[in-house]
Structure 1
Amino acid sequence: MVSKSSGFLPKSSDLRLRDRKDQFNGTENIEDFLRTNEPLDDKLTKQLKKPQSFLHRDHWFHTFVCLALTVASFLLRFYKIDESNIVVWDEAHFGKFGSYYLKHEFYHDVHPPLGKMLIGLGEYLAGFDGDFDFSSNSNYPKSVNFKAMRQFNAIFSALYVAYGSQISMRSHGLSPGLLHSHPQTYPDGSNQRQVTGYGHRDGNNDWIVKFSRSSGKANIPSHVSKGNYEVSGYGSDTMGDFKDDWIIEIVEQLPTGNKTMENKQLIHPLTTNFRLKNKELGCYLAATGLSYPGWGYNQAEIVCKYPWNYHDKSTWWNIEDHVNSNLHTDDTFTPPPSRFWKDFVVINFAMASSNNALVPDLDKYDRLASEPWEWPTLHTGLRMCNWGDSTVKYYLLGSPFNTWLSTATLPILVILIFVQLFRYQRQSLQFTEEKVWNVFVSAVLSFVGWVLHYIPFLLMGRVTYVHHYVPALFFAIMCFAYVVDYTLSNFNRYLKVVTYILLYAGCVYVYWYFAPLCQGMPEANLNYLYLQLLPGWDVSNAQFS
């Protein structure tokens, strides 16, 4: 007996095609697939080879979600971005640093320079002329288009040295600052004037070749201190001792564009690297890479030491500035070409040293500073501007929804990775190439990214703030996404949809609830007391100003 098949049921050929498509999706090469399966008719083969259309539902949905999130992120970042017309938080620093690039003024950037250069580009596009100094909490003048600047960031964030010459010297060590001295004295030891390393231009960086510092006329002796010899300033043009004399040892002459001026027996600004050896003690002037505490204004430590090797860069120096009215200026001087990789290493050491020198003052309580352990737990936030009732106020705090959930999933992620490795070792779990790549990129790299962006703050001695956790938070959120996706992978489709809807709804609701913190609080402090969920959140503390 032959029964008619229902028109609502798929034909056997359709079922067969679907099975073949499922098999083919896991095969990289169609020839391999055809060799291991029975022959197909031409129609089925063409359908298998045909790529999915861009208008396929999955492609369309993913594209729509990506565009929608992008538009939403622009709207949220631009919304009320000019609500406050005062210099807020790091605008005081980065706005000023960006203007240095705009005005072509050199300065030591403690961060990789591209970020500040982009800020300078934003200022240029906004028509900024570099006149405003971005003083903290000052009002923007009408001539400064601060709205356009904020919107831009929201889219992303020399010759022969003769006696009597006035010079400045730069170290080649881990803290490559300029040799510096000031009237303040060491608290113990010689109790004479401090000699330090300083990263900024200053009159106290100028030295007159003899050696005596130009403004204080203090010679540089070397006295014994713990571990190395102390370097200090004392005396005058007529007073000194046998430890004041230093011998110059040329260690390297860099080639310049003007070969006729290259005399390897002379000291040239910028191109000659040399060491300074104390004639009496035999030690060398050096920058250790460490910093003095508060009594030394956290400037670089300068000592006289016996180097471990001729190539110990902590004892290398070069002349940076040279002023001598008795000598003519050579307008044909061509500076040496950049040695990219050496300069790259030196500038990164300089940035790391400068950053690590930003240590907290133990004698002063900094209400804005925070400890790294407080960031993943949202133990505290940060006031970004003046907290007066008439001021538009901003409070830096991570979303409790994203931060707390991502922090909670970090140990879970580690457990999941080890469980999968254990099951694979026990041969109870099969790892395809696609699955290995998914675990590596989504889980392992995300967790490693969080570790590399968070753990260094636990080790460094510099002062830290809440915003230092932002890069690590980005990776923590990706870890959270992997844990959610892995947990729901064996659930049915409807439970997945409900879970994702709840997560998205929670994320949006928490943002809406805490929106005044980032969009601005123009009203009195007490009106925002409801946002202060934890004691460490000083959103509405009237005693703190």
Structure 2
Amino acid sequence: MSSPQAARARGKEGSKKRATTPNPDGSAAMTNGNADIDLDALKEKSKDVVTRQWDYKLAFAVITGLAFLTRFWGISHPDQVVFDEVHFGKFASYYLQRTYFFDVHPPFGKLLFAFAGWLVGYDGSFLFENIGDSYITNKVPYVAYRSMPALMGSLTVSTTFWIMWESGYSLPACIVSAALVLFDNAHVGQTRLILLDATLVLFMALSVLSYIRFYKLRHEPFGRKWWKWLLITGVSMSCVISTKYVGAFTFFSIGVPVVIDLWDLLDVKRRQPLSMPGFGMHLGARVLGLIVVPFLMYLFWFQVHFAILSRSGPGDDFMTPEFQETLSDNLMTQQAVNIDYFDSISMRHKETKVFLHSHADRYPLRYEDGRISSQGQQVTGYPHNDTNNLWQVMPSKALEGAGHRVKNGDLVRFRHLVTDTWLLSHDVASPSMPTNQEFSTVAKGDANGKRYNDTLFELRIENGKAGQDFKTKASHFKLVHFPTKVAMWTHPTIPPLPEWGYKQAEINGNKNILQTSNLWYAEDIQGIPADSPRLVKEERKIKSMPFLKKYVELQRAMFFHNNALTSSHPYASHPVQWPFLLRGVSFWTENDTRQQIYFLGNPVGWWFASSILAVFAGILLADQVSVRRGVDALDSRTRSRLYNSTGFFFLIWAAHYLPFYIMGRQLFLHHYLPAHLASALVAGALVEFIFNVEPNELADFTEQQIQDGRKGTSKTQSTRRRPIRERIAGQSLLVTWAASGVILAVLVWSFLYFAPLTYGNPGLDVAQVNARKWLNYDLHFAK
């Protein structure tokens, strides 16, 4: 056993022989002229490695074939709508019908489904209304729809193998990583249905692969291949974030090594230091390829989205009247009526759709927390149409005659018709929010006397021009209390009023008047004469709106409603449950045949990959402690691969997993799929590290490195040492193959055991269902 001093000496000697920079592929890049490389031996080794690549190619072909088999087998079953196919199949139909809809996800993934439907000549007549609806009865080409994600899921397995191959790992390591995705029930189940995750995971994997290919060309900058892989990286990342906004995690995963690489290029102590203009070229190229091009492509998909969806549809209500006027057949523009003073109107909140409502009941003297109220008449939000929703629009100053239009910027008052009281707000805390003002009504005498100012409201039409007419449906407005400058407001997150408020929504005054959640619109006018000239409809022309303005408006709506997805769901789960596969999601059931599709990963694969993540963290900690105690147990090349390549994979896992802990929206097991793929990469890399197998070294050296190296070890010495290295590597390889074989066997067994839940076929009896409830999974037909 060597002494700590000897180990330190060997470590120092190793550091002199090769200075490295962190590389995603784990290779050791030469950064000075001190590297001792036997050029003849290295060239001979490179040729030998190239001739040995047939085994990788064969494994790649077999794994790809198995991926297609597992994803496409029985894809026509069930011939019914399954789980979230009700959403994404419906969106594809809306695209084919050119009908405007709203969704919280960007359009790229949904456009692919529409493209699949268009290829087979489908007209989009089926709207996927309910889980369990028959595809056969409604003549839906659902196999064509499902084939799109199945194709992507199959290619994801191939890409996983390719990532490990390009990173220079041994064949067993490549197979283990690919098999963890290939034989994973969650990846198979999610990529056989009309869902977005197959697109998301594939392009996330392609982003990693293309960046590794780009980084391996670092010694040949600005060449054709260098630019090609840089741009492919950017395009792949753009496709990720154009599918779901969690694609931002992929940008972070790639962005960290890019920043480290640029920081290294800035180092003046490099063997060939860059000038500042040269560094600027590198920086500019990466900004162009990884930021500008992805963003322009991201915008392009929204342009396609707007160009296709030209007709009015169910998404109209989420957009402003200005946006809706760009759509043909829009009911809002067809039914809009100018509002005059003294009209009786009903008003609805844009987001919650509750009516502004009042009734004779009053606020209690004291609330549950001890605060005192005004005991004024209650003003609430009521979801149903009712006579108590009617308010008469009154001018702030006396007007003679009728026919005076209400306009943007006017000071107005509102009289509640049923109780003959007047709307007001004042400096009294609202029932549930002490920071917001109470809305109430006051009797006519006080309203026209000492409380007059409290009944004044400024009507602000959103994006309206000065003097613009106030109309039903077409004018989204904010009602701002004139004396105190608070906006009439409610929100879905506010708890409903207690029993004294009949569980209705609370209406209060919001001090932040810029929030879009302050918007209301007039639903209709009560009692307008049938022969009123205001009801005469003129032929309206479809208006245009700048693309960027439409894009910004849609982005704001998407982010708001995505964050508002906070309601409970019976199959929602927490991030802490995902790595341990503590629960899944029921996708589909059929009582007669006892068949079910239950979204669940391969338990053995998930537990193995999660354990490896913990092992990796422990290895890094142990290595750091050892080095600080003077024991250098790892050679420089192994440490470089461990920290830079495996560490890069670990970063991808953390970036795609940890941010979910700070999210407040609904979360499900499928959100872990990108992180699971990254954990599979870490697992394959650790298999190689633990058994110390000789890796595929072709990825470690480029032709440029060979040409730039300097001969320091004689060919005779290299030839003399090679048999010893090969014998040790051969023994390690046998052990690694044996361990990998055991892992594969258990993976395949577990995959097949849970396959009836993944494919929905065959149906299981009670005993078979209960036998698969390993962690008390909430499976159906367990009784």
Structures share fold, TM-score greater than 0.5: yes
Q: Superposed, which structure 2 residues align to 1:136-285 within 5 Å?
A: 136-142=131-137, 143-156=139-152, 157=198, 162-164=338-340, 177=351, 180-181=354-355, 192-194=379-381, 210=393, 222=425, 224-225=430-431, 226-227=433-434, 228-230=436-438, 245-249=456-460, 264-266=466-468, 275-279=478-482, 281-285=484-488
1:3: which partner in 2? none
Q: Classify 1:476/1:294 alpha carbon distance in 2 versus 1 (closer, same or farther; 3 Å).
A: farther
Distance of 1:441 and 1:128 partners within structure 2: 44
Contact 1:289 1:353 in 2 (8 A): no
Deviation of 1:402 after TM superposition, in Å, equals 0.9
Contact 2:613 2:679 in 1 (8 A): yes
Q: TM-score, normalised by structure 1?
A: 0.69
1:305: which partner in 2? 510
Q: Superposed, which structure 2 residues align to 1:272-351 within 5 Å?
A: 275-279=478-482, 281-286=484-489, 290-292=493-495, 303-307=508-512, 312-314=514-516, 317=519, 325=535, 328=538, 330-331=540-541, 333-339=543-549, 342-343=552-553, 346-351=556-561
Contact 1:161 1:267 in 2 (8 A): no
Deviates more, 1:57-66 or 1:179-188: 179-188
Partner SS state of residue 276, structure 1:
strand
1:74: which partner in 2? 68
Q: Classify 1:333/1:537 alpha carbon distance in 2 versus 1 (closer, same or farther; 3 Å).
A: closer
2:661: which partner in 1? 455
Partner SS state of residue 285, structure 1:
strand
* Matched residue type, 2:776: G
* Matched residue type, 2:149: N
Out of 382, 391, 400, the residue aligned to residue 603 of structure 2 is 400
Partner SS state of residue 355, structure 1:
coil
* Matched residue type, 1:247: E
Q: Superposed, which structure 2 residues align to 1:534-545 within 5 Å?
A: 534=774, 536-539=776-779, 541-543=781-783
Distance of 2:675 and 2:646 partners within structure 1: 19
Contact 1:195 1:233 in 2 (8 A): no
Q: Classify 1:298/1:521 alpha carbon distance in 2 versus 1 (closer, same or farther; 3 Å).
A: farther
1:500: which partner in 2? 740
Q: Superposed, which structure 2 residues align to 1:496-535 within 5 Å?
A: 496-523=736-763, 525-526=765-766, 528-529=768-769, 531-534=771-774
Out of 642, 647, 664, the residue aligned to residue 440 of structure 1 is 647
1:256: which partner in 2? none
Partner SS state of residue 99, structure 2:
coil
Deviation of 1:50 after TM superposition, in Å, equals 8.4
* Matched residue type, 1:122: A
Q: Classify 1:276/1:148 alpha carbon distance in 2 versus 1 (closer, same or farther; 3 Å).
A: same
* Matched residue type, 2:597: Y
* Matched residue type, 1:403: W
Highest RCO, 1 vs 2 (Cα 8 Å, sep ≥ 6): 2
2:587: which partner in 1? 384
Partner SS state of residue 488, structure 2:
strand
* Matched residue type, 2:774: L
Out of 81, 84, 87, the residue aligned to residue 81 of structure 2 is 87
**C-alpha offsets along residues 505-531 of structure 1, whole Å, 9 cap, x if unaligned?**
221121122221112234353363364
Partner SS state of residue 290, structure 1:
coil
Distance of 2:623 and 2:475 partners within structure 1: 58
Contact 1:380 1:537 in 2 (8 A): yes
Contact 2:378 2:441 in 1 (8 A): no
* Matched residue type, 1:80: G
Distance of 1:542 and 1:187 partners within structure 2: 52
**C-alpha offsets along residues 225-281 of structure 1, whole Å, 9 cap, x if unaligned?**
33213558999xxx999666420347866xxxxxxxxx5543699999974312354
Distance of 2:740 and 2:502 partners within structure 1: 53
Contact 1:286 1:303 in 2 (8 A): yes
Deviation of 1:404 after TM superposition, in Å, equals 1.4
* Matched residue type, 1:246: F
Deviation of 1:148 after TM superposition, in Å, equals 1.9
Matched, 1:469 2:465: no
Q: Classify 1:408/1:36 alpha carbon distance in 2 versus 1 (closer, same or farther; 3 Å).
A: closer
Contact 2:349 2:356 in 1 (8 A): no
User: Unpaired segments of 5 or more residues in structure 1?
Assistant: 1-21, 172-176, 254-262, 361-365
Contact 2:103 2:558 in 1 (8 A): no
Distance of 1:447 and 1:517 partners within structure 2: 29
Distance of 2:505 and 2:626 partners within structure 1: 53
Deviation of 1:168 after TM superposition, in Å, equals 8.5
Q: Classify 1:183/1:274 alpha carbon distance in 2 versus 1 (closer, same or farther; 3 Å).
A: closer
Matched, 1:359 2:568: yes
Partner SS state of residue 656, structure 2:
helix
Deviates more, 1:464-473 or 1:289-298: 289-298
Deviates more, 1:380-389 or 1:396-405: 380-389
Q: Taking every aligned residue pair, what percent have the same amino acid on both sides?
A: 20
Contact 2:575 2:657 in 1 (8 A): no
Q: Classify 1:535/1:306 alpha carbon distance in 2 versus 1 (closer, same or farther; 3 Å).
A: closer
Deviates more, 1:153-162 or 1:330-339: 153-162
**C-alpha offsets along residues 162-206 of structure 1, whole Å, 9 cap, x if unaligned?**
4259899887xxxxx37642779999776544168x9xxx999x9
Distance of 1:480 and 1:294 partners within structure 2: 52
Distance of 1:320 and 1:101 partners within structure 2: 30
Contact 2:392 2:416 in 1 (8 A): no
* Matched residue type, 2:674: P
1:102: which partner in 2? 96
Distance of 1:313 and 1:337 partners within structure 2: 23
Deviation of 1:395 after TM superposition, in Å, equals 2.0
Contact 2:579 2:606 in 1 (8 A): yes
Distance of 2:417 and 2:734 partners within structure 1: 79
Distance of 1:187 and 1:413 partners within structure 2: 63
Partner SS state of residue 385, structure 1:
strand
Deviation of 1:538 after TM superposition, in Å, equals 4.2
Contact 2:687 2:736 in 1 (8 A): no
Q: Classify 1:467/1:445 alpha carbon distance in 2 versus 1 (closer, same or farther; 3 Å).
A: closer
Contact 1:250 1:275 in 2 (8 A): yes
Partner SS state of residue 479, structure 2:
strand
* Matched residue type, 1:97: F
Distance of 1:515 and 1:430 partners within structure 2: 43
Partner SS state of residue 355, structure 2:
strand
Contact 1:247 1:277 in 2 (8 A): yes
- CA RMSD in angstroms comes to 5.1
Deviation of 1:127 after TM superposition, in Å, equals 3.5
Deviates more, 1:64-73 or 1:502-511: 64-73
**C-alpha offsets along residues 382-436 of structure 1, whole Å, 9 cap, x if unaligned?**
3322341425422222101111112223332222233344455667366569534
Give the helix-richer structure, 1 or 2: 2
* Matched residue type, 2:604: F
Distance of 1:124 and 1:540 partners within structure 2: 36
Deviation of 1:151 after TM superposition, in Å, equals 1.7
Out of 51, 54, 63, the residue aligned to residue 57 of structure 2 is 63
Contact 1:382 1:466 in 2 (8 A): yes
Distance of 2:502 and 2:72 partners within structure 1: 40
Distance of 1:369 and 1:90 partners within structure 2: 14
Contact 2:92 2:110 in 1 (8 A): yes
Deviates more, 1:212-221 or 1:271-280: 212-221
Contact 2:490 2:517 in 1 (8 A): yes
Distance of 1:297 and 1:89 partners within structure 2: 35
Contact 2:475 2:521 in 1 (8 A): yes
Contact 1:287 1:314 in 2 (8 A): no
Deviation of 1:76 after TM superposition, in Å, equals 0.7
Distance of 1:203 and 1:431 partners within structure 2: 77
Contact 1:376 1:404 in 2 (8 A): yes
